[in-house]
Amino acid sequence: MPIPSKEEMYRALEERHGAELQKKLDIASVAVCGLGGLGSNIAIALARAGVGKLNIIDFDSVDISNLNRQQYFPDQLGKPKSDAMRDTLERIAPYCSITSYNVKLTEENIPVLLKDADIIVEAFDRADQKAMLVNCVLENLPEKYLVSGSGMAGIAPSNIITTKRITKRFYLCGDGVSDVENGMGLVSSRVLICAGHQAHAVIRIIAGEFDI
């Protein structure tokens, strides 16, 4: 069966979201930095919502240890995550403009690779890399909105994962406490909850809803 036309898919989204919001989503540009448990789920949620431009970035490859919580398939093992996620997103949202980079983000390349995004999503695993990206964006791209994640490990209650507005343009999602090093690690359901918080924060920013 042929895939629906761009107009048909847009109309279906417009019926769900309303014309005003869907137009805002369609012209929005979002960068997802890190395509692991958080980033892969966030990217899929944004693509399904009809975000018009996605910039996805990761330097890692798909490993069997990723399959319990990340949106990859066994036949993608060994493939760069940026390529595997681009392929998946193109199946979900064939008319979304997707730019993928198989590169490690650094203080030097962040201002270049993220400069065209309206909203930047931090979805790294390591605390030091999270801090590096957040600090670099706040210092070099202060006009951007930034949505970050912190604390989603273990099987603690889902309701302690929240979204907080830290500054005018910086949002933090998670429980802010749990650490993969101090417990059972990352469980798919809880990672997905935090990813949902981040994706929804992005959608609300696009909609012009800036409160938490």
We report the CATH number of the domain holding residue 39 as: 3.40.50.720
How large a percentage of the chain has pLDDT more than 70? Answer: 97
Please give the pLDDT value at position 33: 98
* Residue at 108 is within a domain: yes
Tokens of 17: 């979201």
The answer as to whether 212 is a domain residue is no
Residue-level pLDDT at 167: 96
User: How many domains in the chain?
Assistant: 1
* Segments of 25-144 assigned E as strands: 29-33, 53-57, 97-101, 119-122
The predicted structure's pLDDT at residue 1: 80
Average confidence score pLDDT of the chain: 95
Q: Left (φ > 0), alpha (ψ -120 to 50) or beta: where does 154 sit?
A: left
Two tokens, residue 132 = 């590096």
pLDDT of residue 183: 57
Give the confidence band of 182 by pLDDT, cuts at 50, 70, 90: low
Q: Is the pLDDT of residue 176 over 90?
A: no
How far apart, in whole angstroms, are the C-alpha atoms of residue 96 and residue 144? 21
Please work out, in degrees rounded to the nearest 5, the angle formed at the alpha carbon of residue 130 by the alpha carbons of 38 and 111. 105
Q: Give the integer Cα–Cα distance in Å for 152 and 133.
A: 19
Q: Give me the phi and psi of 119, to 5 degrees please.
A: -130, 135
Whether 168 maps to a domain, the answer reads yes
Determine the average pLDDT of the residues in 91-104: 98
Indicate if the pLDDT at residue 130 is higher than 90: yes
Per-residue pLDDT tens over the stretch 46-87:
999 999 999 999 999 999 999 999 999 999 999 999 999 999
Across the beta sheet with 145-149, the strand order is 97-101, 53-57, 29-33, 119-122, 145-149, 170-174, 162-167
Length of the chain: 212
Mean pLDDT of 120-127: 94
High-pLDDT (> 90) share of the chain, %: 89
Tell me whether residue 41 is in a domain.
yes
Question: Is 97 in contact with 124 (CB distance < 8 Å)?
Answer: no
Q: Say if 202 falls within a structural domain.
A: yes
Task: Provide the pLDDT confidence category of residue 175 given band limits of 50, 70 and 90.
Answer: very high
> What residues pair up with 108 in beta bridges, in sequence order?
none
Average pLDDT over residues 146-157: 92
- List Cβ neighbours of 86 (8 Å cut-off, separation of 6 or more): 56, 98, 100
The two tokens of residue 178 are 């749990």
Task: Please tell me whether residue 43 adopts helix, strand or coil conformation.
Answer: helix
Mean pLDDT of 160-181: 89
Residue 180: pLDDT over 80 = no
- Domain with 67, as residue range(s), is 6-207
CA nearest to 164, candidates 192, 117, 198, 187:
198
Q: Is residue 1 part of a domain?
A: no
Question: Which tokens hold the place of 180?
Answer: 């993969």
Q: Report helix, strand or coil for 146.
A: strand
Q: Is the pLDDT of residue 166 over 70?
A: yes
